[in-house]
């Protein structure tokens, strides 16, 4: 399966080449007015991430600095390399699990997912958990590969591995990352299940009463709210909202609204407003629905690329604003 922003790939092309990784500093990235810092740098163990510049920074400032840094900026080289490794790990894992049966998944998936989480921890150890997860989300949108790109059976294997990893980690950062990633896997499952039942109109196999009963039986409200609250307690509510919406959008196997159905066109316009979220959230959700409509309508590559640039700019703005509300005791890293 492919993610919402990706194009079909053939088996004859290498995974990284197939997905056409673009620059990790997209058009629309937030500009840093004064990025020059005189530094004295000491680097200890990754878990302590004691990189000391001449001035400490907020989570927002650290995020903006890394999101807008040029590819050849040596001050960000270690984090940039870890981010590239994380994207590559997802791409290679996606390629390796394709076509495997359950036995094959059980054999290879634990190691692949452990590598993904380990690299996520390395990024978080250098810039802080909140900033690390925000940068990962940006890279997922840019590279068009995310955990949501994997099928449900693969994500089930990830969940089993993630539960085991939570028990093993000794450091605070590793425990936090493992816990958040486990919660995000859970809400991806819930959003996938909910989207397929919620939007199946005029399908005789799934009448409305049956779909409602399935949603209630699965306790979709309780499950989603519980995961949302757990992540909010760690990262703050605005960043939890941003990550959950991003994870839903990046699900490859989600049901999308059909622009050819007039009711869907109306609902996609008003639903973001009925979320009662702030302006940056509403505008981003409207843009996501519009992007889905363009894909469904068979829009050309140039049109879709233009919309992706808009999505990236809106997402960067949302993440930067959300990082202003990260709990102070979480740690922010430094620039």
In a domain, 212, yes or no: yes
pLDDT at 332: 55
Asked whether 93 and 113 are in contact (CB, 8 A), the reply is yes
Kindly list the distances between the CA atom of residue 22 and the CA atoms of 140, 309, 332, in Å, as whole numbers in the listed order.
Answer: 11, 12, 27
In a domain, 42, yes or no: no
DSSP for 72-139, please give it.
T-GGGHHHHHHHHHHHHHHHHHHHHHTT--HHHHHHHHHHHHHHHHHHHHHHHHHH-HHHHHHHHHHH
Distance between CA 300 and CA 19 in Å, rounded?
17
**pLDDT per residue of the chain (335 residues) written in tens, 0 to 9:** 334 444 434 333 444 444 433 333 333 333 333 333 333 333 333 443 333 333 448 999 999 999 999 878 898 999 999 999 999 999 999 998 888 888 888 888 888 888 999 999 999 999 999 999 999 999 999 999 999 999 888 888 888 888 777 777 678 888 889 889 989 999 999 999 998 888 777 678 888 889 999 999 999 999 999 999 999 999 999 999 999 999 999 998 888 877 777 888 888 889 899 888 999 999 999 999 999 999 988 999 999 999 999 999 999 999 999 999 999 877 555 44
In a domain, 140, yes or no: yes
Only one residue has tokens 């001449």, namely 54
Asked whether 90 and 146 are in contact (CB, 8 A), the reply is yes
In a domain, 102, yes or no: yes
pLDDT at 152: 86
In a domain, 6, yes or no: no
In a domain, 1, yes or no: no
Domain, as residue range, for 213:
54-330
Only one residue has tokens 């997860």, namely 133
CA-based nearest residue to 173, from 235, 236, 125, 120: 125
How many domains, in total, are found in the chain? 1
In a domain, 38, yes or no: no
β partners of residue 39: 53
In a domain, 100, yes or no: yes
Only one residue has tokens 């829009």, namely 299
Within 10 angstroms of residue 54's Cβ, the number of other Cβ atoms is: 10
């Amino acid at each position: 399966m492919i993610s919402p922003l990706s194009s079909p790939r053939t088996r004859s092309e290498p995974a990284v080449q197939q997905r056409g990784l673009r620059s990790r500093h997209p058009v629309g990235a937030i500009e840093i007015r004064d990025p020059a810092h005189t530094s004295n740098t000491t680097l200890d163990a990754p878990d302590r991430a004691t990189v000391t510049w001449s001035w400490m920074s907020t989570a927002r400032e650290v995020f903006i600095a890394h999101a807008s840094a040029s590819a050849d900026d040596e001050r960000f080289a270690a984090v940039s390399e870890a981010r590239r490794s994380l994207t590559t790990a997802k791409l290679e894992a996606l390629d390796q699990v394709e076509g495997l049966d359950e036995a094959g998944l059980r054999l290879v998936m634990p190691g692949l997912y452990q590598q993904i989480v380990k690299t996520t921890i390395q990024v978080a150890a250098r810039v802080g958990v909140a900033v690390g997860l925000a940068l990962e989300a940006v890279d997922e949108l840019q590279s068009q590969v995310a955990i949501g790109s994997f099928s449900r059976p693969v994500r089930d294997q990830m969940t089993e591995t993630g539960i085991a990893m939570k028990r093993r980690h000794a450091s605070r950062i590793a425990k936090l990352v493992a816990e958040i990633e486990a919660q995000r896997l859970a809400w991806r499952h819930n959003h996938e299940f909910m989207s397929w039942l919620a939007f199946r109109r005029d399908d005789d196999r799934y009448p409305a009463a049956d779909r409602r009963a399935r949603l209630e039986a699965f306790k979709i409200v309780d499950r989603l709210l519980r995961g949302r609250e757990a992540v909010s307690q760690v990262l703050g509510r605005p960043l939890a909202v941003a990550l959950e919406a991003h994870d839903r959008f990046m699900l490859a196997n989600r049901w999308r609204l059909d622009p050819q159905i007039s009711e869907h066109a109306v609902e996609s316009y008003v639903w973001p407003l009925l979320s009662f979220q702030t302006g940056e959230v509403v505008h981003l959700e409207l843009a996501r629905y519009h992007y889905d409509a363009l894909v469904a309508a068979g829009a050309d590559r140039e049109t879709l690329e233009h919309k992706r640039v808009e999505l990236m700019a809106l997402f960067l703005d949302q993440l930067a604003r959300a990082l202003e509300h990260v709990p102070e005791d979480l740690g922010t890293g430094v620039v």
